[in-house]
Amino acid sequence: MRPGRIYRPRPVPVRVDADGRPRAVGRLGVASIREEWLVEDGWWTRRPLRRRYFELVLENGSDTVVFCDPGSGRWFKQRA
């Protein structure tokens, strides 16, 4: 495995509610949202980074972190 690729975000299907909060990741429902935060970085560059993160507990008891790229509307799963 090449260095730097271990924690690279992977696309994931996420269903959201009317407020844009995750209700399902793949086929698993969201049991609870532990934390939600917004990351804005590089705003002074040509390619600023803006992501809305959620730490979730899924219905099978697993913990996962997903984020949405507001520019594309696409969701990704990322390990810490």
- pLDDT tens-digit series, residues 60-72: 999 999 999 988 8
Q: What is residue 78's predicted lDDT score, i.e. its pLDDT?
A: 83
Largest separation between any pair of C-alpha atoms in the chain: 41
For the segment 1-17, the average pLDDT, to the nearest whole number, is 80
Q: Quick one: pLDDT band at residue 48, thresholds 50, 70, 90?
A: confident
pLDDT at 6 over 70: no
Single pTM value for the model: 0.84
